[in-house]
């Protein structure tokens, strides 16, 4: 996530820098540094920002289950944590999901795949 996306999400959440710092358990200085592009945004902060935005948008948009949208075969579904935990709208958030036929093992690789996915993009079309 770059500084512009971070700022866009914070504004979409209608939070001040101080409020988002409190939500993320960060210092105000860290949030300011992210938005100025002085510091890289860690993966765990990116995930939390996207999670907050997804939960806010959940009430605004009807989001289906990823396995239905992607038409995953039953065998693949049964091995996928998104299906197991009934959270097909949060598939992008959960490590180990079976995307592109293989479990994704780390956030950096997973989010690159998710950013090209119709499920992810139906939730995160950023203004």
Q: Are 50 and 20 in contact (CB under 8 A)?
A: no
Lowest mean pLDDT among 32-36, 58-62, 77-81: 58-62
- Cite the residue boundaries of each domain of the chain with CATH code 1.10.260.40: 3-58
- Of the two residues 125 and 73, the one the predictor is more confident about is 73
DSSP-assigned letters across all residues of 20-88: HHHHHT--HHHHHHHHHTSSPPPHHHHHHHHHHHHHHHHTTS----HHHHTT--HHHHHT-HHHHTT-G
In this structure, CATH architecture of domain 3-58: Orthogonal Bundle (1.10)
Residue 55 has pLDDT above 70, yes or no: yes
Confidence of residue 127 (pLDDT cuts 50, 70, 90): very low
pTM score over 0.75: yes
| Predicted pLDDT at 13 | 95
């Amino acid at each position: 996530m770059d500084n512009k996306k971070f700022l866009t999400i914070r504004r979409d959440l209608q939070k001040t820098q101080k409020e988002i710092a409190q939500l993320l358990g960060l210092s105000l200085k860290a949030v300011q540094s992210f938005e100025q592009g002085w510091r890289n945004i860690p993966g765990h902060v990116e995930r939390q920002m996207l999670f907050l935005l997804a939960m806010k948008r959940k009430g605004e948009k009807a989001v289906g289950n990823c396995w239905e949208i992607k038409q995953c075969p039953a065998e693949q579904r049964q091995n996928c944590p998104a299906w197991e935990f009934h959270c097909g709208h949060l598939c992008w958030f959960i490590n180990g999901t079976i995307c592109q036929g293989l479990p994704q093992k780390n956030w950096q690789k997973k989010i690159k795949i998710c950013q090209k996915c119709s499920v992810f993009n139906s939730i995160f079309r950023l203004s």
